[in-house]
Amino acid sequence: MNAFNPTQALASRVRRHLLGAAAGTALAAALPFPAAAQAAAKRIRFAHTAPLMHGWHLWAVQFKKGIEARTGGKIQVQIFPNAQMGNERDTGQAVRSGALEMGAIGVGLSNWVPELAITDAPFLWKSRAQAYGAFGGAFGAELARRCMDKGFVLTGWTDLGFRCITNNKRAVTSAKDLQDLKMRVPVSKAYIAMMQAMGASTVAVDLSELYLALRQGVADGQDTPPSVVKSNKYYEVQKFVTKTDHVLTTGYTIANPKFFASLNPDEKAAFLAAATEADNYLRDYTQKDELEAYAFLKAQGMQVTLDPDAESFRKACAPVIAKLPELFPPDLVKMAQATPV
């Protein structure tokens, strides 16, 4: 009996899905070129786990438009949202094996490239401009090199929003106001350490169960980007929101190295230009969406604090980075923070 090969099994599952999807009207409608043109075109299958209004899908749609226009349809993109190809780990495995050409993934990419956890370091950035400069400079190049070493071409940095803090107990204007609050955190050593450093206790709750946990008082508060507070209707079960900007929620778009190497120089240039264009599009969108979200939350009756004592949060969280070098390598922290603000 042949040994089970998980990579082949994953690839087989992806192929079966694609064959089934190709027969469906939704996929047929998504392909803008006739069958004869499709046969001659190079295909990029792009998978992500998020819904259609999520930043990853917006990135993918913009990338599809850009590369198809730049290549005259010689490269075409098929987008598979809503975890059609499995969860984030499935997506990462499929891209790494070549069963998929591209995908979007969050901090789960750190399962293969542990150093990527650095983008969850609290108050790593003093501004978006600093973060974007770092991603486009030596810091980003170093992370891209480490991704390539583990079997991924890092093709984009998706800005999913600066995180805010909401709660039901009091207005949070400085770090001391988090004392004794029960804060929901994702299952993450970094987030647990960050909240505890500011004096809060932590409760691990899955995002799918967070609304109920907040309503029932299992947690007093939580932290997500304001657009998530809006879309998930946490304003119905939370009274206060503070623009702390403690973590810039960063996702990644990745490609299979063999596929990328198969592109000719003109196609690679079109690919990289379309990826950069998609990054910039999503960055602009996310910043506007944040402002609109805070205005919306205020209109829903939440007390919004837009100018808290940022330095108090930074000071409280500074030891977290130093105490977790396995998550936040000192050389990368230094490189990131040396980027001009």
On whether the CB atoms of residues 46 and 63 are closer than 8 A, the answer is: yes
Q: Which CA distances in Å does 243 have to 29, 76, 286?
A: 41, 40, 15
Per-residue pLDDT at 169 exceeds 60: yes
Instruction: Check if 6-113+121-159+249-289 and 164-247+290-325 are the same fold.
Output: yes
Q: How does residue 29 score in pLDDT terms, banded at 50, 70 and 90?
A: very low
Contacts of 216 (CB under 8 A, 6+ apart): none
Confidence of residue 9 (pLDDT cuts 50, 70, 90): very low
**Ramachandran quadrant class, 233 (left: phi over 0; alpha: psi -120 to 50; beta: rest):** left
User: 103 with 48: CB under 8 angstroms?
Assistant: yes
Looking at residues 274-302, what average pLDDT do you find?
97
Distances (CA, A) of 199 to 108, 181, 300, 322: 27, 8, 29, 18
110: tokens are 């750190």
Q: What is the pLDDT of residue 21?
A: 38
Give pLDDT tens digits for 221-245: 999 999 999 989 999 999 999 999 9
pLDDT top residue among 322 and 26? 322
The pLDDT assigned to 41 comes to: 86
Q: What is the pLDDT of residue 13?
A: 44
Higher pLDDT, 164 or 4: 164
Structure tokens given for 28: 């047929």
Find out if CATH 3.40.50.300 is the number for domain 6-113+121-159+249-289: no
Average pLDDT, the chain: 89
pLDDT beyond 70 at 334 = yes
Confidence of residue 204 (pLDDT cuts 50, 70, 90): confident
What's the pLDDT at 261? 97
135, 287, 289 from 292: Cα distances, Å: 26, 9, 5
Q: Is 333 helix (H, G, I), strand (E, B) or coil?
A: helix
Q: Tell me what percent of the residues of the chain surpass a pLDDT of 70.
A: 88
Cα 55 to the center of its chain, rounded Å = 8
List the chain domain ranges.
6-113+121-159+249-289, 164-247+290-325
- Residue 269 above 80 pLDDT? yes
What is the structure's pLDDT at 249?
A: 94
pTM of the model: 0.83
Predicted pLDDT at 1: 40
Q: What is the CATH number of domain 164-247+290-325?
A: 3.40.190.170
pLDDT 10s digits, 58-76 = 999 999 999 999 999 999 9
